[in-house]
A and B are shown apart, each in its own frame.
Chain A
Amino acid sequence: SQELEQSPQSLIVQEGKNLTINCTSSKTLYGLYWYKQKYGEGLIFLMMLQKGGEEKSHEKITAKLDEKKQQSSLHITASQPSHAGIYLCGADSGANNLFFGTGTRLTVIP
């Protein structure tokens, strides 16, 4: 079965620092989604990547999908306390199932 591995599992950074979260698959990804979840709350859609080499940005968050479409990274520039939460990557399995990594818990210290 296809799996998504996220790293690191947790991250603590000082406000203003940059950070990167990685999401790796053993198989080619057909669609890669990034979501943010506040603790115990719903998932907020951030970005979707479909093409190899694709890069998207929204405010201070940039996501990239590598050329082989097996790895994605999420980069946050100049982190703020509002960026704190759990970041989840998800991917289409091709059978109407969106499967997810186990998440990266981000803490931003003011």
Chain B
Amino acid sequence: EAQVTQNPRYLITVTGKKLTVTCSQNMNHEYMSWYRQDPGLGLRQIYYSMNVEVTDKGDVPEGYKVSRKEKRNFPLILESPSPNQTSLYFCASRFRERETQYFGPGTRLLVL
């Protein structure tokens, strides 16, 4: 089944404790993105990648890192999480620009 998977789905952590949210897609998509969704602010792009080893900042990249060592994986790294990073995070992928983007199931993160 073609899909985008994320892990973990739920995560509670404390301020400053490094964490990684994994994202994987099995559709051979070139483009991958990370978004966060917050009430009243909607979905905002954090980082995106157009191919292996090619990443760039989105609208809200502060406090996040990403890497794209393989085509299928695009992990999101929070080196030192803070409470304002409490949010619902989505990974997404698409074959190329201006084509349908498919989303993962989301990761709900709570930073205490």
Contact B42 A101 (CB under 8 A): yes
Interface residues of B in 56-112 (CB under 8 A from A): 56, 58-59, 88, 90, 92, 97-98, 100-106, 108
Contact A100 B42 (CB under 8 A): yes
Known contacts: A30-B98, A96-B31. The answer to whether A41 contacts B40 by CB under 8 A is no
Instruction: For A98, list chain B residues within 8 Å (CB).
Output: 33, 45, 92, 101
With A and B bound together, what is the CA distance between A49 and B45 in angstroms?
21
Contact B48 A97 (CB under 8 A): yes
Contact B106 A40 (CB under 8 A): yes
- For chain B, the count of residues having a C-beta within 8 Å of the partner chain is 25
Chain A, residue nearest B49 (CB) = A96
Residue of B43, B45, B48, B98 ringed by the most chain A CB atoms within 10 A: B43
A-to-B contact residues, CB < 8 Å: 30-31, 33, 35, 40-45, 48, 50, 88, 90, 92, 96-103
Rank and list the top 5 A-B pairs by shortest CB-CB distance, nearest first: A43-B103, A42-B105, A102-B42, A100-B43, A31-B98
Given contacts A97-B33, A97-B58, 10 further A-B contacts (CB under 8 A): A31-B98, A35-B103, A43-B103, A45-B102, A48-B100, A96-B50, A97-B59, A98-B33, A100-B42, A102-B40
